[in-house]
Amino acid sequence: MRYEISDWMRSEQARREALFTDLFAGRPVEHLPLEIRARDDEFSVRRHFFGENEEWLSDSLRAVELTWAMRGHTDAIPAFCADVGCGCLANAFGAAYAFLGSEQQTPGVAGRVITDLEAQIGGLTAPDPARAPWVAEGLRRMRRFAELGRGFTPQSGLDAAGGLNAAADLTGLSELLTAMLEAPEAVHRLLALVQETYLALIALEAENCGGLSQMTTTDFYLGWSPPGFKGHCSDDVSAMISPALYREFSAPYHAEVYRRYGPGGLHNCGPNPCAAAYMAGPDSPVYLDLNEVYSRADLPALREAVRGRGFLRWGSDETDPARIAADYGKFMELLAPDVVLVPTYTVRRPEDGAALYDALLPIAREWARRTEFRPFPRGEENERGQ
């Protein structure tokens, strides 16, 4: 399997990287980035995982090539994705995978490794993530993508999440939420083990994909971040806890990732009861990676939380260009000039992506004209790169 890289692709990728680098540095841009990617209708999550002919490789290459086929009508930086499911870190602790639901649903974990946190926590140790079957498979896929990309096309980290997400896989969500109130010390001891394993996994990922510079972020996120901002954390459990619990059980562990790899992004699909706490600390993210369906109602609160401290990245499954453009204009009126929103859309055909880009570009230019660009706190020192 061969991946053709042209001189035009190298020049165009440099343009896109410069656009995002300026945005992260708080410098004025001609238009806000519009991340539009393509993936055709033949994609199947189940086949992607278990296909006998390494469909995961051809699936990811096909998505990258379709995105490049939009030519200059997107600002997305095509990237590979070694997806081995969101339970791979729990797999390192002994959790087995279970495929539930539809062909398009990623596998979860079967049963619980921890049935009594307080009783079992003293006997737990941080595992070697490389010995976990699904982590090992993920690292193998990353090596294959590194060979295919030849130092040009980056790739995301594995969908490992860490933190409360992985802890919930091990204990059960309701059990974890109860323990946060009734046995906080045991929860912190579990989170310390998860964090030790997660940081070891990130280091392995960087090693297997050719270095941190070859990663979009340290997490399962295709949106590229420049050097110095590669840290990314996922925390969907934050949709169900209070800001006080977020500050105790989430923020300190996220901060370790940001201190080591740069203050990049934080993912929560939404809703966002912890919005005010996301960026309140000295070691916090520069952008929030959210889902429109679950976070749209939170935009006023998110504007106050993000204002002057970073920006938003916004994933959506909407496909109608007219509706997308109308919504994007409404978001501009709500957020400008204080907060920037970078939208992400996936289309099935390159021509659909080009049409969507052309519909959104005038709004992206107007939003950039209205925006009061300035360096973000935690940003200037990280622009040095890593």
What's the confidence (pLDDT) of residue 45? 77
Residue 89 pLDDT greater than 80, yes or no: yes
Cα distances (angstroms) measured from residue 177 to each of 182, 237, 286, 383: 9, 9, 27, 37
What's the confidence (pLDDT) of residue 98? 83
Residue 47 pLDDT greater than 90, yes or no: no
What's the confidence (pLDDT) of residue 297? 96
Measured between its terminal Cα atoms, the distance across the chain in Å is 32
pLDDT tens digits for 288-301? Answer: 999 999 999 999 99
Rounded to an integer, the average pLDDT of 52-62 is 85
pLDDT tens digits for 124-171? Answer: 999 999 999 999 999 999 999 999 999 999 999 999 989 999 999 999
Rounded to an integer, the average pLDDT of 237-261 is 97
Question: Which is nearest to 239 in space by CA: 316, 339, 164, 308?
Answer: 164
Return the higher-pLDDT residue of 316 and 197.
197
Range in 13-17, 81-85, 197-201 with the lowest mean pLDDT: 81-85
Question: Which is nearest to 346 in space by CA: 223, 214, 264, 225?
Answer: 223
Enclosing H/E stretch for 311: strand 311-315
- Average pLDDT across the chain, whole number: 93
pLDDT tens digits for 325-355? Answer: 999 999 999 999 999 999 999 999 999 999 9
Exposed, middle or buried, 323 (CB in 10 Å: 0-12/13-18/19+)?
A: exposed
Portion of the chain with pLDDT greater than 70, in percent? 96
Return the higher-pLDDT residue of 385 and 54.
54
Separation of alpha carbons 235 and 166, rounded Å: 9
Contact between 26 and 347 under an 8 Å Cβ cutoff? The reply is no
Rg of the Cα atoms in the chain: 20
pLDDT tens digits for 90-103? Answer: 999 999 988 776 76
Domains belonging to the chain, first-starting first, are 14-79+216-386 (no CATH), 81-210 (3.20.20.210)
Range in 42-51, 52-61, 272-281, 302-311 with the lowest mean pLDDT: 42-51
